Amino acid sequence: MRKLFAIAFFILLVFPLLLSAQTTVSVITWALDRDFYIEAINQPEVYSAIDADPMIDQLITSQLQLPSDADTQALTNVLQEVLTPEYLRAQINAYINGLFDVLQGKTQDFSPVIDLKPLKSAIAGDQQDVFLTALVEALPECAPGQTPGFGSDGDSACKPAGVPDEVIIEDALKPSLPFVLAQVPDETALPGEFGVIGEDMSWRAFFPGMATPASIMLGVLVLSFVALIVWYLIGLVAAPDWHGRLGWLGWMLLVPSLLVFLMGFASQGGVAAYWINFGLARANLAATPLGPGLADTIQTVALSAIPRIANAFKMVGGVSGAIALALIFWGIAIPRRQRA
């Protein structure tokens, strides 16, 4: 009767609790680490996707109010030379650090911005002639009755018809460029609704003022503590002596530990990569600003993160499994005559 009771409680209570505790401990070792995300995103494919032609073309067309059929390839090439991997890496790292600063309670709001100083410096410096030439080439000639300029009152940008590009650059754009750049801020807010992240995050904490990562870790600790208490109590009930109790404790811990270890082994063995490729192959990403190359970017980031995730599961499962085996052999080593 004692063993049936222990088996029933192991299946219904101990096993789910131990498996949940070990899984969450594995997850928080990387999910709450900002360096994990920085290293995962720090890939050449990510930077190539950000400054890909579709993304830059959409930015140019919207900001300069150009017609959708305008030829912006030359202007795109100029901006791609300015948006170096080092610049993009610094921007992405700033976004991730800003988000974690909010989650950790170091700041109150998350307001990611785009640093325009390198772009302004390049346009005002050695890239000025190339930029202005590409800009004028991208502008279509004005239709009859249309005012030359960069668009207003719903009109698209255009240049005077019949005027050589060199004249427009020397007589109009170059003299006004310093004034225009002075009106452009050094930083501009990243489009999107990010303010909600820092507006009301009282739900994130167990206690007022507690940061989100600390709250999550406290929750995992509470879950692990409850799991250990229940596991230990069921082990005490399962057998009348320590010879049997240690065996029960070891085997009850070994089963979920083995599953957690196998999760990590399977993830690094190709199972996770298969499902990532399976999902991306069926996702329609061609309409996104990053274009069809977004699938390759997501695949690169996900695959680069798998080893860290898999190692976390294998570490927790391996340590727990070693403790379980130690308990099993400890119980076996106790002579029957010492059973109390």
User: What's the CA gap between 19 and 40, in Å, rounded?
Assistant: 27
Phi, then psi, of 149 in degrees rounded to 5: 150, -165
pLDDT in tens, the chain (340 residues): 778 888 999 999 999 999 999 999 999 999 999 999 998 888 877 777 776 666 677 667 766 677 777 777 777 887 788 788 888 888 889 889 988 888 887 877 777 788 888 888 888 888 888 888 888 888 888 888 777 877 665 667 788 888 888 888 888 888 888 887 887 788 877 655 555 455 555 545 556 667 778 888 999 999 999 999 999 999 998 888 888 899 999 999 999 999 999 999 888 877 888 888 888 878 776 666 555 667 777 888 888 889 999 999 999 999 999 999 999 999 998 876 544 4
pTM: 0.76
Looking at beta carbons, which pairs linking 223-232 to residues 24 or more positions away fall under 8 Å?
223/17, 223/20, 223/21, 223/24, 224/21, 224/24, 224/25, 226/17, 227/14, 227/17, 227/18, 227/20, 227/21, 228/21, 230/9, 230/13, 230/14, 230/17, 231/14, 231/17, 231/18
